[in-house]
Amino acid sequence: MELFGLGKPSKTRFASMMTRVLAEAGVPEPITYDEGRFCLSFRGDSRMDLHHAYGDYCSATRQQRKQVLTGYVQGAVESLTAIPDDLSEARPNIVSRVRESVYYPLIALLARWRAVRCRVRLRSGFRRT
């Protein structure tokens, strides 16, 4: 079934697909596959672990598989991009985040609640409540 793209590809076949897509996206060669660690290495010190990508790819529908590969490859390509030295280069990639005024007090309250819950569990011997 895997031969026709219908089933789950072998890990080696998946690594081969990822290597091809990374190269097409502009990741510099050589891209090497480490079968024992199930990862790809490129650009000297960069490494891409394939376990999560493989799991996501195998659980995706046939229509979603290309999108899964693209998402992981974009992440790898972005990790290779250097951080700009000045603000004018970085400005197009800066995204502001507006939060409701209640957001930060709620996060603080949630943290306190979790801390209290943890102390209660410690006292009770880690029993689930």
- Measured CA to CA, the distance from residue 29 to residue 91 in angstroms comes to 30
SS3 call for 44: coil
> Could you tell me which residues come within 8 angstroms of residue 79 by beta carbon, excluding any fewer than 6 positions away?
46
Query: pLDDT per residue over 53-108, tens digit each?
Result: 999 999 999 889 999 999 899 888 877 777 778 888 888 878 777 878 888 899 99
Q: Find out whether 64 and 75 touch, Cβ atoms under 8 Å.
A: no
Please state the pTM of the whole predicted model: 0.59
Query: pLDDT per residue over 7-42, tens digit each?
Result: 789 999 999 999 999 999 888 888 999 999 999 998
Higher per-residue pLDDT: 121 or 108: 108
